Amino acid sequence: MQNERINIAVIGASGYTGADLIRLAIRHPNIAIKSLVAKTHAGQSAGAVFPHFHGFGLPNMVDVSEVDWDQIDAVFCGLPHGAAHEIIAKLPVHLKIIDMSADFRLRDPETYQTWYGAPHGATELLKQAVYGLSEHYREAIKAARLTACPGCYPTATLLALLPLVKAGMIDTADLIIDAKSGVSGAGRGLKQNTLFCEAGEGLSPYGVANHRHAPEIEQELARASGRQVTVNFTPHLAPMSRGELVTCYLRLNEGIGADDLRMRLRDAYTEAPFVEVLNEGLIPATQHVRGSNYCRIAVFADRIPGRAIVISTLDNLVKGSAGQALQNFNLMFGFDETTGLTQLPLFP
């Protein structure tokens, strides 16, 4: 299996997540990129759409109707929500699918309709989809046909909180999540709030009290705790192209201290090659993980008795999207989990 070559297609290849998936897949020893799907850029070369791909022998971008699916083994989908489930539902059953959109993350179709404003178009597939948080659903991902990669904010948040919730160490009725992400998290399409003059030299909240990643976070924390969870989640747009930092303010259960949280996180991620729990006093920063598949987590005692602060940082386009997708691909096809993902962070 380690010498096997898997033929892949990337749907949504002209977006930021699609581009980062291509960047990583080019150097994956077991991947052959056979098809790049991008409706609005069909007919153009990959190098014309993304000049940094010039000279790598990539196929031209095509419409989805032009793909010979008999020649494809796996599909990475980087389409926006609402568009992904319609296309994925029509794909041949022999394909393994790693979806980077939001369309298969929420297990309940009614919750999906509430938060995304339209009925889910592939509810049967929704039942089959495995939530692709690699470190927590590793065995289920190995057996999956369709893996739904988490959003970037949920990835950073859940890696920090799930082990603590499972161990009953924190009060799930009092969770405050203050999150900040680079502008690439909004996608490559033109939007006024992501124009340079709008986003540069400033920091702004958005999706206040109604961001679509909140129910995803709540779904997984509720599954871990066995009770309904509602989080206070506020994202912010930071004037940088990529990177994400999440600060979680927690109330501790009786007899629990910050050192206990740190020890629990270390125990939980002993076998996780991409999650690092920092020593006491060290502060994670987005520039420490830029361009990599790593997530760094730190725990601090709050000045308020009975509370703690947990900080988690990752690259929203890598561990928060394309890198995690490739990590899940490795699990699904029996390759070492780290294959194609060991590049170090870029600094400065």
The answer to whether residues 243 and 289 touch, using CB atoms and an 8 Å cutoff, is yes
In the chain, the amino acid numbered 155 is T
What tokens appear for 5 in the block?
């070559």
Give the whole-angstrom CA distance, residue 149 versus residue 302.
32
Give the whole-angstrom CA distance, residue 258 versus residue 239.
31
The answer to whether residues 17 and 78 touch, using CB atoms and an 8 Å cutoff, is yes
DSSP-based three-state secondary structure for 256: coil
Give the whole-angstrom CA distance, residue 135 versus residue 104.
18
24 Ramachandran zone, left/alpha/beta (phi>0; psi -120 to 50):
alpha
User: Which is nearest to 259 in space by CA: 242, 279, 240, 275?
Assistant: 279
Of 77, 149, 152, 295, which residue is the catalytic one? 152
Strand blocks (E) in 72-169? 74-77, 96-99, 130-131, 146-148
Give the whole-angstrom CA distance, residue 151 versus residue 240.
18
Strand 130-131, strand 146-148: pairing = parallel
Integer CA distances (angstroms), 88 to 96, 229, 323, in order: 10, 30, 20
In the chain, the amino acid numbered 321 is S
Active site (annotated) includes residue 152: yes
User: Which is nearest to 284 in space by CA: 296, 272, 273?
Assistant: 296
Positions annotated as catalytic residues are: 152
